[in-house]
Amino acid sequence: MIGDNLAHIRAAVREAALRCGRNPDAIKIVAVSKHVAAARLIEAQVHGQTIFGENYLQEAAGKINQLHGPLEWHFIGHLQSNKAATAAELFQVIQTVDRLKIAAALNQHAGRLGKTLDVLVQVNVGREAQKSGVLPEDAAGLLRELRLLVHLRVRGLMTMPPLGREPEESRPWFRSLKQLSLQLTEEGLFYDNSAVELSMGLSGDFTVAIEEGATMIRIGTAIFGERPKYPTHDVVI
């Protein structure tokens, strides 16, 4: 089933990219594996999936120790500064940096480990009080501060827009993040301003996100199916 699901998603990615004149190979599928057993991640790996996104550090640690090979692990959950040491050790990419305090902690621990972390800045495009993320008008100031942290590379932006009933309802939010990225690129605020990453789009709206410029899509349910219900307020993606 997982192999079939991945094939379907890859076909949909290709179709959406070609529809708007983009290279399908420029779009990364991040398999969101929260609450998914390691055996099922291994099945996805067998079918060519190499990027996994995890929300919880303790859960991720157990899986990372069980999977082998050239894999890339992204942290996509809310991160507290007292957990930065673990995150810096386990992950290659942190997608949810939204304040200087957490960035400074990650920078410190990455330096201690002798590594450089790629990070995305999470932007709260919908200005929702219950969601993390820097406000759009504060993003430039945060990026200027992050440029001083030598063990971090700010690769782009990430967002989780307000939930809509239809995929099209997400389009204005995706477009807003793209426009913000262009403004920040003009100021030269990313590590590589010629290859800015935009992480946006979930199982239900990733084709719309691709049309609006996503370079990373975070897909969980469409790959792994419905997951067990846990007492969490996280959005299932």
Per-residue pLDDT tens digits for 53-110: 999 999 999 999 999 999 999 999 999 999 999 999 999 999 999 999 999 999 999 9
Q: What is the spatial distance between Cα 41 and Cα 18, in angstroms, rounded to a whole number?
A: 28
pLDDT at 1 over 50: yes
Which residues lie closer than 8 Å to 65 by C-beta, 6 or more apart? none
pLDDT at 172 over 90: yes
**What residue has token string 């939204």?**
98
pLDDT at residue 122 in the model: 98
C-alpha pair distances (Å), 108 with each of 23, 105, 118, 154: 36, 5, 14, 15
CA 105, 111, 145: angle at the middle one, nearest 5? 50
pLDDT at 129 over 80: yes
pLDDT at 231 over 50: no
CATH code of domain 2-224: 3.20.20.10
Q: State percent of the chain over pLDDT 70.
A: 96
| pTM (predicted TM-score) | 0.94
Q: Residue 229 — pLDDT band, cuts 50, 70, 90?
A: low
C-alpha pair distances (Å), 69 with each of 30, 40, 48, 66, 216: 16, 15, 11, 10, 21
Q: What is the DSSP string of 96-158?
A: EE-SHHHHHHHHHHHHHHT--EEEEEEE-TT--TTS--B-GGGHHHHHHHHTT-TTEEEEEEE
The mean pLDDT value for 46-56 works out to 98
Given a contact cutoff of 8 angstroms between Cβ atoms, the answer to whether 52 and 33 are in contact is: yes
pLDDT at 202 over 90: yes
